Amino acid sequence: MHTLVTGGGGFLGRAIVEQLLARGDRVRSFSRGTYPDLSEMGVEVVRGDIQDARIIAQACEGIDCVFHTAAIAGIGGPWQRFYKANTVGTQNVIAACRTHGVPRLVYTSSPSVTFAGHDQEGVNECDALIDLTWLERNGCHYSRSKALGEQAVLAANSEPLVTCALRPHLIWGPGDPHLVPRLIERVRSGRLRRVGDGTNLVDVIFVENAAAAHLQAVDTLTQSNSPVAGKAYFLSQGEPVNCWPWIDDILALANLPAVDKSISLSVALRIGKVCEWVYRIIGTTQEPPMTRFLAWQLASSHWFDISAARRDFGYQPQVSTAEGMQRLGEWLRQQ
């Protein structure tokens, strides 16, 4: 196939690119930044902003399938910043696929699009529904913008353009530029606190498993009357981890001490509300140290039933959590 990966220079996008190349597909990457190493790997690199409909349309010309991973993530900043990149940008990708007759589109969504401030324990795609009103009311700009993007992708599913959405939860592994570095930075600066009683279970997914699921999904989309078309799927390692002991294990790999201070969820929610108000007043795009959404995520259980992904496109985590942690430790020791 001739594939396009938006966000091909990112953490997940790069893993998808590498797996596509390994099996012999032609790959074009679309990103805001420059990535000379991708060019050296044989990737056609296109630089542009996903908000520019003209440029993304050009990038979709001659493409057989699109993996849309590009997004702005984070817990703080103005709504329009997330909306333009994650929602309007996704609408631009859909329009570009239609313009150039791209037959398949896989959208990287997030389980957080279904979060509504309470525990999610073993829920499936039918149980966990998107509540845009709750997300808007509680300032969950990233999740709300991704939810709108997911809805647009699934609504676009049709005979000329078959689509699906994947919801990997807490992607981690060697090369992680997001989760692991933030944990390490917060510990070193003395700003990491356990939120809640520390017993919450969460799903995680190793980056190579998340990438492999994207390839499996797009391959299944090629089938006539594909069971994947028009659907969203949760993805994980298949078994949740205890959030705070798992964080402590990651810190140990970096030779850092375990988290030894904690605050209650109610206190974290109050701090988050104040931080959101202050950062909104000063108009900064920087992330606040706490938000209500982050407090809920750190204190609540959120793990999911992935049997639909197993059934419909054969997803099976190939790298275990234990092996993934070993690889992460090796990478951290090289930093």
107 is catalytic: no
Residue with the two structure tokens 């049709």: 158
For residue 68, what are its two tokens?
Answer: 């849309």
* Residue in 19, 155, 27, 20 with CA at minimum distance from that of residue 87: 155
DSSP letters along 20-58, please? HHHTT-EEEEEESS--HHHHHTT-EEEE--TT-HHHHHH
Contacts of 40 (CB under 8 A, 6+ apart): none
Distances (CA, A) of 285 to 184, 279, 303: 22, 8, 30
For residues 90 and 207, the answer to whether their CB atoms sit within 8 Å is no
Instruction: Tell me the residue ranges of DSSP E strands in the chain.
Output: 2-6, 26-31, 44-47, 65-68, 104-108, 120-123, 162-168, 171-172, 194-195, 201-202, 205-206, 231-235, 241-242, 262-263, 302-304
> Phi/psi zone of residue 101: left (φ > 0), alpha (ψ -120 to 50 degrees), beta?
left
Catalytic residue among 35, 107, 142, 279: 142
- Strands 194-195 and 205-206, by their bridges, are unpaired
Taking the CA atoms of the chain, what radius of gyration do you get in angstroms?
19
Contacts of 182 (CB under 8 A, 6+ apart): none
The residues assigned a catalytic role are 142
